[in-house]
Amino acid sequence: MKIDVHAHYVPDGYRAALLRAGHEQPDGMPWIPEWSAVEHVAAMDRLGIATSLLSISSPGVCLGDGRTVVGLAREVNEDGRRAVMDHPGRFGLLASLPLPDVDAAVAEIAYCCDRLDVQGFVLLTNVGGTYMSDPSFGPVFTELDRRRARVLLHPTSPACWDRTSFARPRPMLEFLFDTTRTVVDLVLNGTIARHPHLELIIPHMGATLALVADRVQAFATVLAPTVDVLADLGRLHFDTAGYGGPRQLNALLALTTLEHLHYGSDFPFTPEAIAAAAVERMDQVESLVVMLRANTARLFATDS
């Protein structure tokens, strides 16, 4: 039975907020998936998942729908906590933060850790075109590092998506490039090195990081000579959402080790049938499934 570090929830209030803000086709996808905690647990049973760590997907909680980002972040975090409490052992919560309001985000970290007992947090690659590597978000990383937080970095549409996506859904390519862009900047500006207690999970098997790592390392000798790009990338965690094996997995394992890999379904934004096909391929290598579960249990210090 797997532990899923990359699973999403769409509570009713959040769905309504998406619709009010004109996100009925989020990131160019054809629909907002239907979701309920009961149906999610049923899908987990069919997919062989013991526990799912729920997070809000792109476009996050900064929607410009007439409500404050602070209020929506608190609402979805409370909704996630209810799902955890209503289904003991089946869910954990990676809470959302009300960025770009840095002070409110730091306060929400405290509330979520001290009152909601969350398992970690989710951060988008950019918020309204301001990337997570921007120095203005420094206090957020400082607080997450202080609390030794587990953080899923989730991609969203880049600010230039209308020129680069060719009217195709942004998760197909743009998500991968935005993930890569963000992580590279977090490494080159020293954010990763300055926060050694932050456990950062990079989705989709590291996007294109494994392919560009050596090139970035070469440029870093001039741009950031004190940064060890390969060491900083190698200590990150990676999930299998959108399972890209064997070719993408082989490339990733040239950058990091299997001990840094975790299972991710991306359900319900990845339909169950596609998630099931990925699970079937993965389950053919029983030792891999066992190792991924052990990795995640160790990272989150849970016996789930």
What's the pLDDT score for residue 64?
Answer: 77
What's the pLDDT score for residue 283?
Answer: 77
Amino acid code (one letter) for 71: G
DSSP reduced 3-state for 247: helix
**132-163 tens-digit pLDDT:** 999 999 999 999 999 999 999 999 999 899 99
Mean predicted confidence (pLDDT) in 270-294? 88
Is the pLDDT at 294 greater than 60? The verdict is: yes
DSSP reduced 3-state for 154: strand
DSSP state of 124: E
- Note whether 66 and 20 are within 8 A (CB): yes
Is the pLDDT at 303 greater than 50? The verdict is: no
- Note whether 52 and 7 are within 8 A (CB): yes
Domain boundaries along the sequence of the chain = 2-299
**226-250 tens-digit pLDDT:** 999 999 999 999 999 986 667 888 8
Q: Does 67 or 30 have the greater pLDDT score?
A: 30
Task: Round the average pLDDT of the chain to a whole number and report it.
Answer: 94
Mean predicted confidence (pLDDT) in 100-113? 97
- Note whether 121 and 144 are within 8 A (CB): yes
CATH fold for the domain made of 2-299: TIM Barrel (3.20.20)
Is the pLDDT at 275 greater than 90? The verdict is: yes
